[in-house]
Amino acid sequence: MASKTINISVEEATKAKAQAIFESLGMSFSTGINVYLEQVVLKKGIPFALRATGANEEENEPPEKKPTSRPSNEKAGVSGGELSLSEILNGLKDDVSPKKKKRK
């Protein structure tokens, strides 16, 4: 698949923080952005909840999470509709590598 260069504007501090996180995960900034964009395509929208801050909520306070039970065959942190980082990265590699012909 051909690559396309994009230019975006982002706060310098935000970029630096994101880049440090991507590097801690063993990926480049570009790969991190590509992972995000792949999730946008997979989810057909923003891959996380967007909500307005209510009058009684602290701006940076995380929402309370209800405990959820997970099927035993499901990996921790990965629900049925989500992919692990390695699955996403493998998908990106598959998109770049030549497609194999199907055997009949």
**Tens digits of residue pLDDT in 32-79:** 999 999 999 999 999 999 888 775 555 555 556 555 554 444 444 444
pLDDT of residue 53: 78
pLDDT of residue 27: 96
3-state helix, strand, coil in the chain (%, to 5): 40, 0, 60
Q: Which of 94, 83, 73, 8 lies closest to 41, judged by CA?
A: 83
pLDDT of residue 50: 85
Sketch the domain layout of the chain as residue ranges: 31-48+84-93
Q: Are 68 and 76 in contact (CB under 8 A)?
A: no
pLDDT of residue 75: 42
Length of the chain: 104
**Tens digits of residue pLDDT in 75-104:** 444 444 566 666 666 666 655 444 444 444
Cα–Cα distance between 84 and 98 in angstroms, integer?
23
